[in-house]
Amino acid sequence: MPAVSKGDGMRGLAVFISDIRNCKSKEAEIKRINKELANIRSKFKGDKALDGYSKKKYVCKLLFIFLLGHDIDFGHMEAVNLLSSNKYTEKQIGYLFISVLVNSNSELIRLINNAIKNDLSSRNPTFMCLALHCIANVGSREMAEAFASEIPRILVAGDTMDSVKQSAALCLLRLYKTSPDLVLMGEWTSRVVHLLNDQHMGVVTAAISLITCLSQKNPDEFKTCVSLAVSRLSRIVSSASTDLQDYTYYFVPAPWLSCKLLRLLQCYPPPEDGAVKGRLVECLETILNKAQEPPKSKKVQHSNAKNAILFEAISLIIHYDSEPNLLVRACNQLGQFLQHRETNLRYLALESMCTLASSEFSHEAVKTHIETVINALKTERDVSVRQRAADLLYAMCDRSNAKQIVAEMLSYLETADYSIREEMVLKVAILAEKYAIDYSWYVDTILNLIRIAGDYVSEEVWYRVIQIVINRDDVQGYAAKTVFEALQAPACHENMVKVGGYILGEFGNLIAGDPRSSPLVQFNLLHSKFHLCSVPTRALLLSAYIKFINLFPETKATIQEVLRCDSQIRNSDVELQQRAVEYLKLSSIASTDVLATVLEEMPPFPERESSILAKLKKKKGPGAVSVTELEDSKREGGELNGGGDRGPDTAAMAASNTSTPSPSADLLGIRSAAPVGAAPSSAGSLLVDVFSEAGPTAPSAAVNDDGFLRDLEQPTETSDSLLVEGSGDLDSAPPSEDPAPPLSEADELLNKFVCKNNGVLFENQLLQIGIKSEYRQNLGRMYLFYGNKTSVQFASFTTTVSCPGELQSQLNVQTKPVEPLVEGGAQIQQVLNIECLSDFSEAPLLNIKFRYGGALQNLTLKLPVTINKFFQPTEMSSHDFFQRWKQLSQPQQEAQKIFKANHSMDTEVLKAKLLGLGTALLDNVDPNPENYVCAGVIQTKSQQVGCLLRLEPNAQAQMYRLTLRCSKDSVSRRLCELLAQQF
Amino acid sequence: MMRFMLLFSRQGKLRLQKWYTATAERDKKKMVRELMQIVLARKPKMCSFLEWRDLKIVYKRYASLYFCCAIEEQDNELITLEIIHRFVELLDKYFGSVCELDIIFNFEKAYFILDEFLMGGEIQDTSKKSVLKAIEQADLLQEEDEPPRSVLEEMGLA
């Protein structure tokens, strides 16, 4: 046991920790811990009151056990007791325990808040800091409610100690991040901004984090901070390396504060005031100059701190994107770092240069470093650095260097790490398309891509090459020749077979003149790959064969022979069998004219944004592909080649669907666009439309809409207690009191109604609320029955239905006010009319207020209006079901949950629930009779959303797997959430 | 803003964890396991930064301990590296050439020091003097409070 260094004395704790360390096995450790837990429990329960010291020691032991990864379910009360100790160390341990282990036990929170309140008003700076730390560590909404108005006062008060100010600033920041609606800066704004001028560097350092966050959200209100930040920065940058004493770090003056100031400035455009701007440019130049000076210390801390400021300055220069001189200097500086011996600097230089490459002022300057970057891609030993190099090559690529960059990326792919291959493939495919001048190069590149990294070539990539070949007749002959050669390889990737099959099926005639690639040779080559391929590829090959019959009548007999053989015409796969049967029939009964019409060459694809780009964006997030790049690609895409998002095979089938009864008998799945000219007349095709509405290009706009706005519109919580017998001061509360927050069990109550429409929604000693509801299409009507269970009259009875946040635009709920008096024992009724405008996830809130014996009752429930209420059941066959299932194959369209059964797993109960859900329960669809599948269409005013559901019970494990696929991802997620509570 | 900081040993034992946003215990355990695996597999000369989920990871090894921070997209990697270093300096100054055992046996002190230095994932003060002054003041208070006890009394035998 090491000597405990300072001031400490909890030997019992040290003994316990050593014991744990001496345990030879996990079992021994658990045994020792259980013994200790039993000991502590008995001490806490014992008759002898524990002194503060022992309490502290035991609480500390519990904390240690928790941090080892074990659950702790007691001791919270003792920790809370420690908070009110007047001994600093006991208080400190109490707060630490609360910070690490707090749970949402509301009883406890109230006690904790009380202790915090006492400490905050104690005027003892160390106690105040402890309390502020605790608030910042827990940061819960209850705490925000209790203290959000108090802390700004502490922060700006003239007599607050510096250390307390620092804690208060960061505490407020934490509360602002968790509950922005509760932190109102209003009157404090200017005094908070002026903390940038504070004498004490520590106060400025803490305050600037708060100011930056507030500026991001309210730039106008805080814009006076710009000039203050510039002057503060200027003073730091021009100070000598020792001026700032303790705030100088390895000869760098105030590096943390400098970085923060530069970051704050990035919330704003360049200063308009000429003098301020001049001063700032001077600062930035000084920072760039200092990078060239010899280091004042050999320590890495010195150069790290210095370069941290430099990189932040460069970020600001890039953010302004208006000073060509500074941009070029920044680029040169980063160029030096590219060859630095520190890996960290090389990494950051590559990353930072990526953003520089998108600025028109510095794009050319970035390009001069191409050789260094290529070298980095080849020689860096760390994959994360190589990844950066690949990103930069992608960013600096333009028409002048595309061939070189694509070639380098291709050769890197041969050895690239698995983790980044898919992304690399997408990047190569995009660059090859975007900068293609001659299309033979493009075709070569993509085929190389398939050869080198076939497994990572996604559907989008090979669809795209086919779209381009179809739309460009000058490249078709070359493409046919090239795929023919590529297929000669004894082992070629399945994606190559797909591209080859498709292209030869369309354009094989262009190379058929050469005896080495005569029709029969072509067919035999394709067919030699057939048996090694998966079902979708075989299906595609069968389509290629029927196209051959049309292109080359001489192959008809051979191909019919193939189609006729048992392995095709009796294939166990329905899709293959159907194709074989139909193609065989088509080729034998249709006249050559009919055949030629049905199997005509594919029409050009409509021009659209490249689906590959969309995929990359999805992979890397919206920030990864800059706007200019998108516009660029659209422009160039338009000029060079069109392309649709749908798979070529789909189109092939759409063209030849005279022979196929189902409108989209396609295993590869419709990607996004509905088949050309599909008229939504019959029920079947309506469903097709619905299912194909959301595609990979649908932007997830909701992502940016973080909780911030929604939080603002949530009702403010003012009263902590609901439905408790009114205390004296409640009597005088005005009836216009704000609605209470939803009951803690509101979600539970809501869940009870997901699969049923009628029942008792809520009941307590005073009030019962019953519900009856019915839905049709996107409309619903709900009857609410409020029953007074007492013998006393309810006065001022009001009910309000509200749609919080974005629900307002998704759901329309109308109702009339109810009678303000409810006699004892009486029941009143209220009717709600509901219209679903678009899909939604939240529930409308029902607030009820009334006076009972003088006390105001205020409660809020969630109305059980859930998205599934607008379901229309859809019957379909097993075949149709799985076909649609496959069409909804994008990862975000699916939501899945595996969970433990909470209720009976009885078949009849399950069936009743699934029917109650509103979907059609489909029999004989799933090969496993234990499973349940359902289908339905959600009707909203703006669109219809097709939904498929599969529930797989596992009776042995008492578990379920629930899978949802919907044409809209938000619906999949919401339904999955709702349903996971039901079984 | 820093999302969390982890200290773990080369053997994969977690020594200290500080989370600056509310995270479920289960998720915490999963994240810790995943990150430890990634970081421990990296070779010495590799870059100290890596992308992980939507976060940037900055880590550095001091003797047997890894200090590992998760920061957000717009945060500065190099300055985070120096946050780690300053924290190590603070520990070192307080314990007097700190080693892993000091942090194991005085974990609560390590938390107190970290709290004085960082709050809500942001820097509270960068001055070594200010941070340590706060901690040492607390120790003085403690010494005044508590008369030394005998070992037996400690173990509850007296």
Tell me the C-alpha to C-alpha distance, in Å, between residue A238 and each of A135, A441, A739, B133.
38, 55, 55, 29
Determine whether the interchain pair B106/A347 forms a contact, defined as Cβ–Cβ distance below 8 Å.
no
Residue A367: half-sphere exposure toward Cβ, Cα within 13 Å: 16
CATH code of the domain made up of A744-865: 2.60.40.1230
- Summarize pLDDT for A628-665 with one digit per residue, the tens: 443 344 334 333 333 334 444 444 443 443 333 333 32
Does A386 belong to an annotated binding site? no
The percentage of chain A sitting over the pLDDT mark of 70, rounded to a whole number, equals: 86
Evaluate whether A947 touches A974 at the Cβ level (below 8 Å): no
Q: Which residue of A has its CA nearest to B149?
A: A9
Indicate the DSSP class of residue A607.
B
Q: Which residues of B touch A93 (CB under 8 A)?
A: 108
B153 part of a folded domain: no
Stronger pLDDT, A224 or A242, i.e. the higher one: A224
How far apart CA A7 and CA A376 sit, in angstroms, is 52
Q: What is the mean pLDDT of residues A949-963?
A: 86
Of A882 and A624, the one with more pLDDT: A882
| Burial category of B40 from C-beta neighbours within 10 Å (exposed 0-12, middle 13-18, buried 19 and up) | middle
The nearest CA of chain B is from the CA of A236 a distance in Å of: 15
Averaged confidence pLDDT in chain A: 82
List of chain A residues whose C-beta atoms are within 8 Å of the C-beta of residue B105: 1-2, 4, 14, 17
Quote the number of domains for chain B: 1
The response to whether A481 counts as a known ligand-binding position is no
Please give the C-alpha separations between residue B21 and each of A164, A937, B77, B126, in angstroms, as whole numbers: 22, 39, 19, 22
Q: Is the separation of the CB atoms in A152 and A192 below 8 Å? A: yes
The answer, yes or no, to whether residue A607 has pLDDT greater than 80, is no
For residues A795 and A820, is the Cβ–Cβ distance under 8 A? yes
A58 with A42: CB under 8 angstroms? no
CB nearest B122 (choices: A173, A201, A381):
A173
- What is the maximal distance between C-alpha atoms in chain B? 57
Question: Is A53 assigned to a binding site?
Answer: yes
Pick from B47, B129, B140: CB nearest A344? B47
Tokens at A952, concatenated: 């797989």
A684 has a pLDDT exceeding 70? no
Judge contact between A584 and A542, C-beta under 8 A: no
Provide the CATH number for the domain around residue B22. 3.30.450.60
DSSP string, A246-310: GGEETTEESHHHHHHHHHHHTTSPSPSSHHHHHHHHHHHHHHHHHHHSPPS-SSHHHHHHHHHHH
Q: Which residues of chain B lie closer than 8 angstroms to A164, CB-CB?
A: none
Tell me whether residues B106 and A9 touch, CB distance under 8 A.
no
| Mean pLDDT to the nearest integer, A200-210 | 94
Q: Note whether A165 and A199 are within 8 A (CB).
A: no
Is A721's Cβ below 8 Å from some Cβ in B? Answer: no
Torsion of Cα atoms, A723 then A729 then A734 then A735, to 10°: 20
Residue ranges of domains in chain A: 8-100, 473-603, 744-865, 868-981
Report whether A11 belongs to an annotated binding site. yes
The answer to the question of whether A960 is labelled as a binding residue is no
Using a CB-CB distance cutoff of 8 angstroms, which residues of chain B are in contact with residue A249?
Answer: 82, 86, 126
Q: Residues of A with CB below 8 A from B124's CB?
A: 166-167, 170, 202, 205-206
The answer to whether A1 and A14 are in contact (CB under 8 A) is yes
Distance from CA of A382 to the nearest CA of B (A): 6
B78–A307: do the CB atoms touch at under 8 Å?
Answer: yes
**Is residue B150 in some structural domain?**
no
Question: Average of pLDDT values for A600-607?
Answer: 81
How many other CB atoms are found less than 10 A from the CB of residue A321? 17
| Cα–Cα distance measured from residue A687 to residue A668, given in angstroms and rounded to the nearest whole number | 18
Between CA A388 and CA A758 the distance in angstroms is 58
Confidence of residue A931 (pLDDT cuts 50, 70, 90): confident
N residues, chain B: 158
Residue of A304, A314, A337 to mutate for B, most B C-beta atoms under 10 A: A304
C-beta atoms surrounding B37 within 10 Å: 10
- Inform me whether the pLDDT recorded for A820 exceeds 80: yes
Closest-CA residue to A602 (of A501, A475, A467, A701): A467
Give the pLDDT band of residue A338 (cuts 50, 70, 90): very high
pLDDT tens for chain B, 158 residues: list them: 999 999 999 999 999 999 999 888 889 999 999 999 999 999 888 999 999 989 999 999 999 999 999 999 999 999 999 999 999 999 999 998 899 999 999 999 999 999 999 999 999 999 988 888 888 877 777 656 555 554 445 454 43
Measured between CA atoms, how close is A187 to chain B, in angstroms?
A: 24
| Residue, of A817 and A412, whose pLDDT is higher | A412
- By the 8 A CB rule, do A130 and A98 touch? no
Q: Which of residues 109-168 of A touch B (CB under 8 A)?
A: 126, 129, 133, 136-137, 139-140, 163, 166-167
∠ CA A531-A537-A540, rounded to 5°: 115
CB contact under 8 A, B122 and A381: no
Reported ipTM: 0.91
CB B5, CB B120: distance < 8 Å: no
Q: Which residue of B has its CA nearest to A135?
A: B120
* Residue A543, pLDDT score: 93
In chain A, residues with a C-beta closer than 8 Å to the C-beta of B106 are 4-5, 8
Q: What is the pLDDT of residues A162-183, one digit of tens each?
A: 999 999 999 999 999 989 999 8
A304 CB within 8 Å of a chain B CB: yes
* Parallel/antiparallel/unpaired status of strands B118-119 and B65-71: unpaired
Q: Spell out which residues of chain B touch residue A143, defining contact as CB-CB under 8 Å.
A: none
Of A232, A167, A264, which Cα lies nearest the Cα of A206? A167
Rg (CA), chain B: 17
Q: What's the confidence (pLDDT) of residue A106?
A: 64
Residue A271's pLDDT is 94
CB within 8 Å: A205 and B148: no
Q: Cα(B78)–Cα(A305) distance, rounded to whole angstroms?
A: 7
Predicted confidence at residue B67, as pLDDT, reads 96
Q: With CB atoms and an 8 Å threshold, state whether B49 touches A344.
A: yes
Condensed to tens digits (0 to 9), the pLDDT of residues A655-683 reads: 443 333 333 323 223 333 333 333 333 33
Task: Pinpoint the alpha helices (H) of A68-105.
Answer: 76-83, 88-101
Structure tokens at A861: 């429930």
Q: What percent of chain A has pLDDT over 90?
A: 39
pLDDT reported for residue A675: 34
pLDDT tens digits for range A481-503 = 999 999 998 888 999 999 999 99
Q: How far apart are CA A471 and CA A214, in angstroms?
A: 52
Q: What is the DSSP string of A97-166?
A: HHHHH----HHHHHHHHHHHHHHHTS--HHHHHHHHHHHHHH--HHHHHHHTTHHHHHHH-TT--HHHHH
Q: Looking at residue A733, what is its pLDDT?
A: 39
Residues 6+ apart with CB under 8 A from A712: A180, A181
What would you report as the CA-atom Rg of chain A, rounded to the nearest whole angstrom?
A: 35
Per the annotation, does A226 bind a ligand? no
pLDDT category, A402, cuts 50, 70, 90? very high
**Distance in angstroms (rounded) separating the CA atoms of residues A397 and A482:** 26
Question: Measured between alpha carbons, how far is A187 from A210 in angstroms, rounded to an integer?
Answer: 16
Higher pLDDT, B48 or A188: B48
Q: What confidence score (pLDDT) does residue A205 get? A: 95
Closest Cβ–Cβ partner in B49, B139, B146 for A6: B139
A863/A762 Cα distance (integer angstroms)? 11
| pLDDT at residue A619, as a whole number | 66
In the predicted structure, residue A31 carries a pLDDT above the cut 80: yes
Distance (Å, rounded) from C-alpha B66 to C-alpha B61?
Answer: 4
- Residues on chain A touching B123 (C-beta within 8 angstroms): 205-206, 209, 256, 260
pLDDT at A722 over 80: no
pLDDT of residue A730: 37
Beta bridge partners of B18: B5
Measuring CA to CA, which residue among A605, A616, A731 is closest to residue A673?
Answer: A605
Give residue A8's pLDDT. 52
- What is the tens place of the pLDDT at every residue in A284-335? 999 999 999 999 999 999 999 999 999 999 999 999 998 899 999 999 999 9
pTM, rounded to two decimals: 0.66
CB contact under 8 A, A246 and B106: no
What is the span of the domain harbouring residue B27? 2-145
Inform me whether the C-beta atom of residue A314 falls under 8 Å from chain B C-beta atoms.
no
Could you say which DSSP state residue A645 is in?
S
Contacts of A135 in chain B (CB under 8 A): none
The architecture (CATH level 2) of A868-981 comes to 2-Layer Sandwich (3.30)
Phi-psi region of B115 (alpha: psi -120 to 50; beta: other; left: phi over 0): alpha
Kindly report, residue by residue over A760-802, the tens digit of the pLDDT.
Answer: 888 888 888 988 888 888 888 898 999 888 888 888 888 888 8
Q: Is the model's pLDDT at A538 over the cut of 90?
A: yes
Residue among B99, B127, B134 minimizing CB distance to A246: B127
Count of A–B CB contacts within 8 Å? 201
Of all residues in chain B, the one with the smallest CA distance to A61 is B108
Taking residue A709's Cβ as centre, other Cβ atoms within 10 Å add up to: 12
